[in-house]
Structure 1
């Protein structure tokens, strides 16, 4: 199980996923289907997320399949951003689909 804070165009969201990496092509594809084509993601220890989210974490985990799935645990960007110290974030994972970059002619 992976937990990650994904910084997107509308702000950070907290995702739980069974994918092995935050940049797994299948996860990236699912995010793209939801309109997220560009992000910076940071892995967070699952135990830390469980400690901070408690019952909400357990409810989401109960709904999460054990293979190839994802759940958004928190989409309140302000809450996600201030719920974790920057020191608690793992190494950044960058993803940018080429057609998302706007070019001025």
Structure 2
């Protein structure tokens, strides 16, 4: 079950200094035995278990990952993963991408 999707933003009248990365987050709550397929983006990708216990698997791969409450897993693969709750669990996924510099319009060259 999707709890929330949090996107970075600035409130009117508040300004923040530019950061070196952009973070996108999504939180999930799962009952024991339930699972969710998560598709990583081509950036650093992290699963953080806020409560419960998670079992992370990849189709066709023998490597299983277990994450307890308070723990995190940073993926080394960019393909869909199945996150299964071994107990009632809340977890958050974060996509972290480097911030790309803004492009400046070039000034006209004198002729």
TM-score range, shorter-chain basis? under 0.3
Structure with more helix by fraction: 1
Larger Rg: 2
Structure with more strand by fraction: 2
